[in-house]
Amino acid sequence: MKTRTTSIPFTPGKGATSEYHIIIRVTDPSLDYPSQLASVLQAGAEAAEGKVVRFRRFFLSDAANQYPLLAQRLDALPPVPTSIVGQAPLDGTRIALWMYCTDPADSPYKHRWDASLVSPGEDSRAQMDGIFRELERRLAREGLSVARDTIRTWIFSRDVDTRYAGVVKGRKDYFETIGLTEATHYIASTGIEGNAPDPRHIVEMDAYSIGGLQDGQIHYLYASDHLSRTSQYGVTFERGTAVTYGDRRHVFISGTASIDARGQVVHPGDVAAQTGRMLENVSALLAEAGAGLRDIVVAVVYLRDPADFACVQRCIEASCPALNAVYVHAPVCRPAWLVEMECIALTPDGDKAFPAF
Sequence-separated (6 or more) residues with CB below 8 Å from residue 318: none
Packed helices 63-75 and 33-47: angle between N→C axes, nearest 10 degrees = 50
**φ and ψ at 12, to 5 degrees?**
-75, -10
> What phi-psi label fits residue 163: left (phi over 0), alpha (psi between -120 and 50 degrees) or beta?
alpha
Same domain, 122 and 48: no
pLDDT value at position 25? 98
User: Where is the domain boundary, 106, 125, 146?
Assistant: 106
pLDDT value at position 334? 93
pLDDT value at position 41? 97
Cα four-point dihedral sign 7, 305, 285, 294? positive
Q: What is the mean pLDDT of residues 148-159?
A: 98
Same domain, 206 and 115: yes
pLDDT value at position 253? 98
Q: In terms of Cα–Cα distance, which of 81, 72, 86 is closest to 34?
A: 72
The confidence band for 268, taking pLDDT boundaries of 50, 70 and 90, is: very high
Pairwise CA distance, residues 275 & 176, whole Å:
34
Q: Which domain holds residue 340?
A: 216-357
Same domain, 344 and 274: yes
User: Where is the domain boundary, 184, 213, 242?
Assistant: 213
> What's 247-260 look like in SS3?
CCEEEEEEEECCEC
Pairwise CA distance, residues 302 & 300, whole Å:
7
Q: In terms of Cα–Cα distance, which of 229, 154, 226, 191 is closest to 337?
A: 191
pLDDT value at position 349? 96
Same domain, 226 and 334: yes
Q: Are 128 and 170 in contact (CB under 8 A)?
A: yes
Q: What is the mean pLDDT of residues 30-55?
A: 97
Same domain, 128 and 35: no
Q: What is the mean pLDDT of residues 100-106?
A: 96
Same domain, 352 and 235: yes
Residue 321 has pLDDT above 80, yes or no: yes
Sequence-separated (6 or more) residues with CB below 8 Å from residue 14: none
pLDDT value at position 194? 98
3-class DSSP state for residue 243?
strand
For 302-311, what is each residue's pLDDT tens digit? 999 999 999 9
Same domain, 245 and 318: yes
pTM: 0.97
pLDDT value at position 130? 98
Q: How many domains does the chain have?
A: 3
pLDDT value at position 120? 97
Report percent pLDDT > 70 for the chain. 100
User: Where is the domain boundary, 73, 106, 139?
Assistant: 106
pLDDT value at position 348? 97
Same domain, 325 and 221: yes
CATH of the domain at 247: 3.30.1330.40
DSSP 94: S
Same domain, 140 and 163: yes
pLDDT value at position 210? 98
pLDDT value at position 298? 98
The confidence band for 170, taking pLDDT boundaries of 50, 70 and 90, is: very high
Residue 1 has pLDDT above 90, yes or no: no
Same domain, 200 and 223: no
Same domain, 238 and 357: yes
Q: What is the mean pLDDT of residues 127-139?
A: 98
For 45-74, what is each residue's pLDDT tens digit? 999 999 999 999 999 999 999 999 999 999
Same domain, 59 and 128: no
pLDDT value at position 225? 96
| Residue-averaged pLDDT of the chain | 97
Q: Are 250 and 242 in contact (CB under 8 A)?
A: yes
